[in-house]
Structure 1
Amino acid sequence: MWLAILAVVVGLAILVWSADVFIDGAVALANKLNVPSFLIGVVILGLGTSAPEMVVSVLAALEGSPELALGNAYGSNIINIALVLGATVLISPIIIRKSIINRDMPLLLFVTAVAAWQLSDGTLSNADGMVLIALLVAVLGIQIVLSLREGNHEHEDDTIEDTTQAEHSMAGGLGRLFLGLLVLVLSSRAIVWGAVELATLWGLSELIIGLTIVAVGTSLPELVASISAARKGEHDMALGNIIGSNIFNTLGVVGLAALIAPITPNAIILSRDIVVMGLITLLLFAMCLFTYKTKRKFAQGSGITLILFFVGYTFMLIRTVSM
């Protein structure tokens, strides 16, 4: 028991530290390369924080359980928007920029629509997996080209906590980035292990543990990275992390799993998870559009709405599995 408590307490402390190191490295890299923070958030933070989901999904497909990859990816997408982004803006409001409305959210909606369309026949074939991977390359290419074309103009007015980050060397920025990511993932796993051990000792069922502690635990890297970025004034990076992670999950994680083995998902994924993922993505776009048009920040009201959505989704999961 004491080992589990130690894992949670120490893990949380290291998690917070590693998130700061991770974001500092990302900011230094963005400044050194003179590229927009949103691009770093989408490509590097999005891919990095989605790495655990990608590994789990590939292993699941290799072990003959490709459906697990689908549930893992779509569940993570829902949690990223509803819980991770919701909690982030409760702590630190985010500025919504024009490029988010005109380019990035429409791309995420398009990716989500493609995922739903591919599942309309009740299966994901190897060919579908190839389409998803090709689409991932295309979407990332569009993001990179357009972001570099726009440059850092939209970011110039932001308040950056530490302008000396630009003085870091390329090697130093990359070193902090990868060290922070590695420790971020390892410490989140330690917290999940300790929390599961404690919950088991306290008599909670495996179902409740899986739907709450494990589900939230797998999103801890995205959560602390986004909160750390938002607190440092890197609003683009915080939101880019969420959008990038969801794009990687939908296209990369599912695409790789389908390439390894065709997926025939359970009907509940088609009638529940893909629908909920579509709804929360549409809700996010509507909220971002309203925030931008009214010249407000994406703040506490939006965060509470997203958190309530997460609570409702969790109760729906528990009720569905219990029936």
Structure 2
Amino acid sequence: MLLTILLIWLKFLACAVLIGIAGTKLTRYADIIADKTGLSGSWIGLILLSTVTSLPELITGISALTLADVPDIAVGSIMGSCVFNLVILVILDYLLRGQSIYHRASLNHVLSAAFGVVLIAFAGLSILLSSLSSFMNFTFIGAYTPIIILCYLVAMRALFVHEHSRVEQSVKRIASRYPDITLTRAYTGYLLASLVVVMAGIYLPFASTQLAEVMGWNNTFVGTLFVAIATSLPELAVTIAAVRINALDMALANLLGSNLFNIVILAINDVIFLKGALFSYISPIHAVSAFSAAVMTGIVMIGLIYRPRSQVFMNIGWVSLSLLMLYLFNTYVLYIHH
């Protein structure tokens, strides 16, 4: 029995390590693409990086619903990832010594954070309403799915218009930081790293289901905590790599953009889930993670607008400390209901 548990943990960790390594490569190649195309780091982080670093959540969700038939893991990995992505800001704040990241970062991130609050909170409300009645559901999908997709498209349009002037200015940059690497090579490396993320994401829900069985945990707890952390490793790798190349805005845009795309993944999952409206087949406890993520995103917005300089504990400020406390609270609530 002990050997079986060990092997399952090794499978889970192997998926996590592959996702983490590929995520680091993604960051480097995305930065090269940004450098050679003249796009801003924020725009690359918001669109190119956030989409690909959310691939594990997308692939894990599809695999969990179509192959493993564990909807709680599919939704738990999304909601848990939204919460964990915001905890990565605490790590970022700790790594960047000196001024708070909320003082250094661009104020332009407030718009994407605001859209994040709306989308995540709406998803949480939909989960609660779906557990109470069926009026939120059509025949095969939830009424919330087209609304989520529409809101995401509106958000992308608004963010594109908002970033457009900054992108035009960044095109005027002169010196390339990667003269020895061609754009073709950057795109090739980006696609190969994405493929590794996809392959690891396909197997992840199977390892997670086995983990839940041998440890005696339910799928909601495993999906929201362990699978969410594993699928968020690209975001963590991107954040650490961004610190090394002094690309704070790219890292922040990636985390906030990933949360936006994560909610769209819920809509995609609802479409491919053939039994009915997805939220009707999951535990309503997922709403706790959704509302935790929405509140945490609101705190990030406050930090970006208030721009605090002071540090409270171990080189992190009160904004990051609040994010960490909310994450621990969310984890505790999920644990006592596991």
TM class, shorter-length: 0.7 to 0.9
Which string of whole-angstrom CA distances, capped at 9 and with x for unpartnered residues, describes residues 183-222 of structure 1? 456678999999999x99xx96546876654442222111
Partner residue of 2:299? 283
* Structure 1 residues 144 and 74: alpha-carbon distance in aligned structure 2, compared to 1, 3 A threshold: same
Partner residue of 2:238? 225
Partner residue of 2:45? 41
* Structure 1 residues 96 and 191: alpha-carbon distance in aligned structure 2, compared to 1, 3 A threshold: same
Question: Any gaps of 5 or more consecutive residues in structure 2?
Answer: 131-135
Partner residue of 2:324? 307
CA contact 2:34–2:40 (8 Å) conserved in 1: yes
Measured after TM superposition, the shift of residue 306 of structure 1 is: 2.7
TM-score by length of 2: 0.74
Partner residue of 2:255? 242
Q: Write the distance in 1 (CA, Å) between the matches of 2:125 and 2:9.
A: 45
TM-score by length of 1: 0.77
* Aligned pairs for 1:1-323 within 5 A: 18-62=22-66, 66=71, 68-82=73-87, 84-92=88-96, 94=101, 95-101=104-110, 103-119=111-127, 121-122=129-130, 123=136, 125=138, 126=141, 127-151=143-167, 153=169, 164-165=177-178, 168-183=181-196, 206=217, 212-250=225-263, 252-260=264-272, 261-263=276-278, 264=280, 265-270=282-287, 272-291=288-307, 294=308, 300-301=316-317, 302-321=319-338
* Structure 1 residues 167 and 139: alpha-carbon distance in aligned structure 2, compared to 1, 3 A threshold: farther
Measured after TM superposition, the shift of residue 4 of structure 1 is: 8.3
The amino acid of 2:26's aligned partner reads F
Range 28-37 or range 117-126, more displaced: 117-126
* Structure 1 residues 124 and 29: alpha-carbon distance in aligned structure 2, compared to 1, 3 A threshold: farther
Q: Write the distance in 2 (CA, Å) between the matches of 1:195 and 1:124.
A: 29
RMSD of aligned residue pairs (Cα, Å): 4.0
CA contact 1:92–1:227 (8 Å) conserved in 2: no
Q: Write the distance in 1 (CA, Å) between the matches of 2:286 and 2:209.
A: 25
Percent identity, aligned pairs only, is 19
Measured after TM superposition, the shift of residue 52 of structure 1 is: 1.6
Give the number of aligned pairs.
308
* Structure 1 residues 23 and 152: alpha-carbon distance in aligned structure 2, compared to 1, 3 A threshold: farther
Which string of whole-angstrom CA distances, capped at 9 and with x for unpartnered residues, describes residues 77-103 of structure 1? 111112x222233223633212113x2
Measured after TM superposition, the shift of residue 18 of structure 1 is: 3.9
The amino acid of 2:286's aligned partner reads I
CA contact 1:192–1:213 (8 Å) conserved in 2: no
Measured after TM superposition, the shift of residue 29 of structure 1 is: 0.7
Range 170-179 or range 37-46, more displaced: 170-179
* Structure 1 residues 55 and 213: alpha-carbon distance in aligned structure 2, compared to 1, 3 A threshold: closer
